[in-house]
Each structure stands twice: as C-alpha cells, then as structure tokens.
Amino acid sequence: MKKSTYYLGGAGLLAGAGALAFLWRSGKASIPEGAEAVKPFDINRYLGKWYEIARFDFKYENNLKNVTAEYSKNSNGSIRVVNRGYHTAKGEWRTAVGKAKPAGDKNEGRLKVSFFGPFYSGYNVLAMDPGYNHALVAGDDLDHLWILSREKQLPADVTNDFLKKARKLGYPTDDLVWTQQD
C-alpha cells in the first residue's frame, strides 16, 4: 500500500511539474533555431491590416480563405490582434481576437501572441521590406510559417526571396497553403 501511494504521489508530482513547465513555457516565446528576427523593427509601422498570402495549415485555419490579420494598439500598450477568414465548408466568417507584446528587445521583430488567456507563442518577423509592405513570419518552430502582404497579391520576386529564406531555415515550403484572396 505504501509503495502504490508513493508511486501515485510521485506521478502526481511529475504531472504537477509538467503542468508548471508547460505554464512557464506558455509565457515564453521562442524563435526557430538558426532564425533571426528583423532588426530594427518598428511596431507602429507594422500595425494595420495584412493579407495572408500563404501559411502552413493547422486546425484553426483549415478551409479558410480571404484571411487577414489586423494589428492595433491597446490602451495598455499591448497589441490587439484580430485574425479573420471565411470558412468555405461552413459558409461563415471566423474571427479570433488575441493580444501580442514584445518578446524581448522592442527593436526586434519578435512578439509573443496569445489567443488563449495566459498562453503565448512566438511570432517572429524573419523578413520584411523597408516599406513594411511584405513580411515572412514564423512561429516558435518549423511548424508555423506565414507570408503576409498589405495587398492581396505579392510580387513574384518577393515570394521567391521569402521561400528561399524559409527553405534555408529548414521549412518544407512545398507544404505551404496559398490563401485564396478574392
């Protein structure tokens, strides 16, 4: 009896430690190995509406077209994030509202973004033109990648540059979903 209690207690401690590690990690935002965020970065120039040109598909964006992201300042200095897209299978618009804040140096294109309470993930601007019109954005790892533009289309030379940079970092760019913008 003592042994099983000990093992159950140990399992509880491990589960608790795992939960604490998860919560600690959820407040962090990392950048993929070998990647560097844009520097200098001006969040005020990044604010506004962006059209999603391409993405790695994941459950929150399955079947979405006309996807946009809008960034604006909250009164507390954080960034309001509004992602929107039309779900083709259900015939309805989907909207997700979140928040973002710098993940370290404010002059670097690294943010941490949350759509679920205290749980944050990395949002890393890896490439951007000087006019803040096109952006290559990565998550914490090689599972999340977006190509964004202020317009519904991206010039071919910019697309090729972004794809080349992403491939060099190890992203499987053949898996990108090219977002329909109509």
The predicted structure's pLDDT at residue 65: 97
Percent helix, strand, coil in the chain, to 5, is 25, 35, 40
CA distance 73 to 133: 19
pLDDT of residue 174: 97
In this structure, are 40 and 75 located in the same domain? yes
Do 82 and 17 share a domain, yes or no? no
- My answer on whether 67 and 146 are in the same domain is yes
Do 83 and 149 have their domain in common?
yes
End-to-end CA distance of the chain: 66
pLDDT tens digits, 11-41: 333 333 333 333 334 445 789 999 999 999 9
Comparing 33-42, 111-120, 125-134, the range with the smallest average pLDDT is 111-120
Provide the pLDDT for residue 28: 59
* Percent of all residues in the chain with a pLDDT value above 70, rounded to a whole number: 85
Indicate the pLDDT class of residue 149, thresholds 50, 70 and 90.
Answer: very high
pLDDT at 2 over 80: no
- Confidence (pTM): 0.84
Same domain, 133 and 43: yes
Bond preceding residue 40 cis, omega within 30 of 0: yes
pLDDT value of position 104 = 84
Confidence check: pLDDT of 180 > 50: yes
Cis amide prior to 32 (ω within 30 degrees): no
Task: Looking at the structure, tell me whether residues 87 and 174 fall in a common domain.
Answer: yes
- Tell me what percent of the residues of the chain surpass a pLDDT of 90: 76
Instruction: Count structural domains, the chain.
Output: 2
Distance (Å, whole) CA 171 – CA 157: 19
Helix (H, G, I), strand (E, B) or coil at 76: coil
- My answer on whether 77 and 48 are in the same domain is yes
CATH number at residue 135: 2.40.128.20
Per-residue pLDDT at 23? 37
pLDDT tens, residue by residue, 135-147:
999 999 999 999 9
Mean pLDDT of 96-111: 94
For the chain, helix (H) and strand (E) counts, in that order, are 3, 9
Answer yes or no: do 83 and 120 share one domain: yes
pLDDT in tens, 41-81: 999 999 999 999 999 988 888 999 999 999 999 999 999 99
Same domain, 113 and 54: yes
